[in-house]
Amino acid sequence: MNCPFCGCPDSKVLDSRPVEEGGSIRRRRECLECAKRFTTYERIEAVPLVVVKKDGRREMFDRGKLLAGIIKACEKRSIPTSQLEKAVDDIEREVVNNMEREVSSEEIGEQVMSKLKSLDEVAYVRFASVYRQFKDIHTFLQELESLLTKK
């Protein structure tokens, strides 16, 4: 951090404290050359995450939309909301840690199916039937048979 008074690149931090409910940090600094004090603010730079849809459209990643889809698949099932939120947290963390600015909807869908398969098989089949757009009863049966054979 260059001193705003003399331009020296060296300063020492005298005091640090969070501001904006932890969204940034206020630092009180002192220049090592001219001894003048100044304040800086540090904030995490949020990189927007874009979802590329099957038809090529792009839209911002929406955690609420992801949670709503999972809740819909788990409707009338006895799965605690906390488990559903944890699944969304895990998926979001995996997508963000991927360090890519764009992620395909197929990749997110596969992660959702993986999480639902371990949570509840009925919810998994519900989500898969919409996500994979089963054309007829035979493709639906194939998915059920693959699920049964893995058990």
| Residue 4 lies inside a defined structural domain of this protein | no
User: Could you tell me if 33 and 57 lie in one domain?
Assistant: no
Query: What token pair was written down for 142?
Result: 């194939």
Q: Label residue 125 by pLDDT band (50, 70, 90).
A: confident
- Residue written as token pair 């889809």: 69
pLDDT per residue as tens digits for the range 1-31: 899 999 999 999 999 998 877 778 999 999 9
Quickly tell me which residue has 């705003």 as its tokens: 4
Are 54 and 36 found together in one domain? no
Same domain (yes/no): 64, 135: yes
Domains held by the chain: number: 2
pTM above 0.75, yes or no: no
pLDDT 10s digits, 60-117: 999 999 999 999 999 999 999 999 999 999 998 898 888 788 999 999 999 999 999 8
Please indicate, yes or no, whether residues 58 and 23 belong to a single structural domain of this protein: no
Q: Which domain holds residue 20?
A: 11-43
- Domain annotation covers residue 2: no
**Could you tell me if 27 and 92 lie in one domain?**
no
Residues 132 and 58 in one domain: yes
In the chain, what's the furthest Cα-to-Cα distance? 78
| Residues near 70 by beta carbon (within 8 Å), at least 6 away in sequence | 84, 87, 88, 112, 115, 116, 123, 127
Instruction: Say if residues 2 and 9 touch (Cβ distance below 8 Å).
Output: yes
